[in-house]
Structure 1
Amino acid sequence: MARSRGVALNATLIVIAQSTQAIAIGAIALFLPLIRSDLGLTFTQAGLLAAVATLSYALMQVPAGVLADRVSPKTLFVVGVAGANALAILFALANDFVLMLVIQAVAGIFRAAMFIPGMLLMTRHFSEKRRATAMGLFVAGGFTSNIVINLIGPLLVGPLGWQGVIVASSVVGLLFGAVLWFVGDDAPHHEADAPAPTRWVWRTPAWWLLGVIQFARLTAVSGFGLWLPAFLIDERGIPLASAGLIVAVSAAITAPSNIGGGILSDRLGRPLLVIAVSLIALTALFSLAGQIASIPVLLVVMGLIAVFIQLYFGPLFAIPRQLFGPGLAGLSSGFGNFVANLGGFSSAFVLGVLKDATGDFTAGFYYLAAVALVGAVAALVLWRQPLPRPSG
């Protein structure tokens, strides 16, 4: 392998390459009212456009994790970057709902090739004591790209249309994928990262409790992230540019919170404390969100949700490595993200169905609050669990 170019350069390339596909996802959420209008979609159909990609993404998490334990994470990651961005271009150029559903379903497969391999690629460039920090940094890039698309998207949608914005951002993603392939280093090999026996973890309560927490995590993230622009525009009457600014500020709060949660967890050595406090706070905030009439108060609540919604990402993905060992890093991350994306699928779809059924997003916010509460209970139960031990 070529001489390592250093942690800073490799981390930067990984974060930027991972972030570009998040721009297309953020654009779909921001422009969902326009997409609905252009295609004549119901809220349920619009939610399905996002949900189908999340479902295929979820189904590929364990296979992607197993592959990442056995082959080059860099290769899988770059393939994912190329496929996800190419399919985003096709999505923007399509004008048939069924075809767009098919494209989104296939795109979810390539996005799965990005997440677990990319996270392993990132964490292996960092020391063992900085794993949670590395994981928080990896995902924070996605929120940074969310800031970009929500700030400049409303300015570009006039001359380019929502289709042109997605195509332009995806071309940038393809370029950065190529730069990573030719300039970036593969993950350093660690003897401890060799594949390990897997059957024993499926009998471990901690394995399933972490799955419940992951389900709650992405239920909140996907439901809030996908439907926030529609909630602000369609239900609160806020213009597209102003809604984009609000979403951008939300992402600007979440990005450092994501990194800060990893640093806090590493310093305290209490990842479950960070997780439990975050989920309890989200339970309360989502319970209030749909009831608030005052826009200034609503914005404060949205800002607080942005603080807690990914504060515990790094700790949550660091715990399986501590409990089950580095040899199962790919499988444990893949399983966790599989369950998480089942939650993401549920919120993307259920909130659209509830909006069509009730006429507003209040019931949807209650759904997010209920799932966050279940996740908080799982975290508290896990806190009292004895540490798992490998067995035949």
Structure 2
Amino acid sequence: MSDIKKVVLAYSGGLDTSVIAKWLKEEYQCEVVTFTADLGQGEEVEPARAKAEALGIKEIYIDDLREEFARDFIFPMLRANTIYEGEYLLGTSIARPLIAKRLIEIANETGAQAIAHGATGKGNDQVRFELGAYALKPDVRVIAPWREWDLNSREKLMAYCQSHDIPVENKAGKKSPYSMDANLLHISYEGDLLEDPWTEPEEDMWLWSVSPENAPDEPTYITISFKQGDPVAIDGVEKSPATIMEELNKIAGANGIGRADIVENRYVGMKARGCYETPAGTVLLRAHRAIESITLDREAGHLKDELMPRYAKLIYNGYWWSPERKMLQAAIDDTQTMVNGDVRLKLYKGNVIVVGRQSDDTLFCEMTATFEDDDGAYDHGEAEGFIKLKALRLRTAAKKGRSLL
């Protein structure tokens, strides 16, 4: 890759990517452009500018992508009620295609020939970043230092910083032993004690939620309004997508909602244990299914549920920018045109309980569903023929001696 003159680095300002910025300059003798994204991780991203400047970086991009992230990535995924392997709400996975998109946009703007990231060779993120980059710019070069260098420990990274005059913050207090990733949808924890799947996470690990035991003794009631499958208001107050995520994270986290302890199957082949806090996502998934329960046709809803695991796997494995994900998204979005209305929820000690749902587009008919007098709206006698038709193949087989008894 000796022809690489400029590379765009996904830059957090932390130890790893600061070393990478310097390493790229030395190993590739190229100019480095840094890109830092605000995805709602709850920390200031502007300090990354000063850190990049201290490394001699001339072109520095720091972008607030919170609204785009919620509107164009989180919400489309939630329309499908997406969940991977029955538990994971894909908080890290769904952020990667947006980062890849912006890396390529900046590469095009600056004339860079390559992009670089700090994902390791063991994880899924390397796949997600690179599949997205290649889908959007087929001839882009990708540099993944963790697959090339021998700086494979924190001690070696620190030694590199010392020998290359890279400033490293030494924050007072206890440093988290976990590898963490945060954005509007979730915060994840991996490593250290969590590498033993039998060990219970320490209570002080969790940052966004109280334990269900310590949650308030009185429930919190909220109403979420939906328009075409997307949440648009909380308690009747319209809010932007990112603001909805931020507010629900606070409300749900305060009620002990959103914790998950998962052993998942990574795309690269290994099993990995991770813990996640997804307060807003947990609430929105339950609320969205509730509004669909009264507005979505039965067979359309069942087909969505059948497609969802495939859709979830595409996102988990890094295929957001694939034609099959786009095809599934079109089908999913077509079902959402009438998914409008309000869902009332009770949040209590880790539980999200649906207590009401209403919509002008409801398919629920009280007259036909009632156990009371339906005034002739439903002819009970018609059920006999329906049942006999459905039983025809079973009766035929039994008459031929094929009874299952």
Q: Choose between structure 1 and 2 for higher RCO, CA contacts under 8 A separated by at least 6 residues.
A: 1
Which one has a larger percent helix, Structure 1 or Structure 2? 1
TM over 0.5: no
Decide which structure has greater strand share.
2
Give the TM interval when normalised to the shorter protein.
under 0.3
Structure having the higher Rg: 2
Normalising by the residue count of structure 1, what TM-score does the alignment of the two structures yield? 0.28
